[in-house]
């Protein structure tokens, strides 16, 4: 039976016209809006007239709602990382990216996440209005792409790389995550990262818009877990995990929120 399921999995992965994993949450919004940002650049003053000529360029940036009401996805219409993802859960983690630092300067921004062609901004609280955050974020993103600066000087997390030490089950888990699950999660402004497989339990880390999303549990259990269990009998459970540094950052942020509320 297990061999038959593995054969079926390989056939699925070879068949490119089969549907990707879809999030089971019915409330997923597909609302998009497009904003054109005018970027002014000035030339040297003309000696004869003393006037300067300004050139105007427009950068069209789309914004897209995500299943997480606290996260908004920005699509600049050009590559961000090109491949892989990069998570900035706090302002202190943004040292490698000038754009992330600028976005954290906006009041109400809690975290920033880079994808291959998108940027996800998460706000601190649902009560914080998107209006000002969105306007300032659009300006920061437009200014950054006009500058030509590198998006980051740090390491980028690429899709689960296969290792010679992986056994057959782990290799199949990574294959399913990379080809069928991750693309859809990234469509929603987030990512899912393989952290381990132990005792029948697949350990995954959800980042970007998936962090703190009300539907993340449904995504794990009704979506990812069901798919992995269907094709890989050895999978009994899927659980969300956090890195030790993420747990520390979350505690620090929570303590800060309590102090501010007092």
* Residue among 176, 196, 207 nearest 239 (CA): 196
pLDDT in the model for residue 164? 77
143 shares a domain with 64: yes
The residue among 117, 147, 177 that closes a domain is: 147
Rounded to whole angstroms, the Cα distance separating 115 from 117 reads 6
User: By the 8 A CB rule, do 207 and 191 touch?
Assistant: yes
pLDDT in the model for residue 248? 46
- CATH number assigned to the domain comprising residue 80: 3.30.1370.70
Rounded to whole angstroms, the Cα distance separating 73 from 64 reads 5
Tokens of 35: 């904003």
pLDDT in the model for residue 91? 93
140 shares a domain with 165: no
176 shares a domain with 210: yes
204 shares a domain with 131: no
Rounded to whole angstroms, the Cα distance separating 185 from 159 reads 13
pLDDT in the model for residue 217? 72
Angle, helix 168-176 to helix 2-14, in steps of 10 degrees: 40
Across the beta sheet with 201-208, what order do the strands follow? 190-198, 201-208, 237-240
Characterize the bridge pairing of strands 54-65 and 71-75: antiparallel
142 shares a domain with 38: yes
Rounded to whole angstroms, the Cα distance separating 100 from 200 reads 37
220 shares a domain with 242: yes
DSSP 99-165: HHHHHHTSTTEEEEEE-SS-EEEEES-TTS-HHHHHHHHHHHHHHHHHHT--S-SS--B-S----TT
Dihedral pair phi/psi, residue 112, rounded to 5°: -135, 145
Tokens of 63: 């914004």
pLDDT in the model for residue 113? 96
pLDDT in the model for residue 223? 84
215 shares a domain with 134: no
Rounded to whole angstroms, the Cα distance separating 57 from 67 reads 33
Residue 163: domain span = 2-13+159-246
Sign of CA dihedral 118, 157, 219, 179: positive
How many structural domains comprise the chain? 2
140 shares a domain with 36: yes
Specify if 255 maps to a domain: no
Question: pLDDT under 70 in the chain at which residues?
Answer: 1-58, 159-162, 243-262
130 shares a domain with 62: yes
Strand pairing partners for 42?
A: 54
196 shares a domain with 121: no
């Amino acid at each position: 039976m297990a061999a038959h399921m593995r054969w079926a999995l390989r056939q699925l992965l070879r068949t490119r016209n089969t549907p990707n994993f879809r999030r089971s949450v019915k409330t997923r919004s597909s609302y998009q809006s497009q904003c054109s940002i005018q970027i002014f650049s000035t030339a040297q003053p003309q000696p004869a007239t003393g006037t300067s000529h300004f050139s105007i360029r427009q950068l069209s940036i789309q914004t897209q709602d995500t299943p997480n009401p606290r996260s908004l996805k920005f699509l600049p219409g050009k590559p961000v990382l090109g491949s892989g993802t990069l998570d900035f859960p706090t302002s202190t983690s943004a040292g490698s990216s000038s754009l992330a630092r600028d976005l954290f300067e906006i009041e109400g921004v809690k975290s920033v996440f880079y994808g291959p062609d998108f940027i996800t901004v998460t706000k601190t609280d649902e009560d914080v209005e998107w209006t000002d955050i969105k306007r300032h974020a659009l300006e920061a993103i437009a200014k950054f792409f006009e500058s030509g600066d590198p998006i980051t000087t740090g390491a980028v997390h690429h899709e689960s790389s296969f290792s010679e030490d992986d056994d057959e089950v782990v290799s199949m888990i990574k294959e399913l995550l990379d080809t069928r699950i991750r693309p859809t999660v990234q469509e929603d402004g987030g990512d899912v990262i393989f952290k381990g497989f132990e005792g029948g339990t697949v350990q995954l880390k959800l980042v970007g818009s998936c962090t703190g999303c009300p539907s993340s549990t449904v995504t794990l259990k009704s979506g990812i877990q069901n798919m992995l269990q269907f094709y890989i009998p050895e999978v009994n459970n899927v659980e969300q995990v956090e890195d030790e540094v993420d747990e520390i950052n979350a505690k620090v942020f929570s303590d800060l929120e309590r102090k501010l509320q007092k």
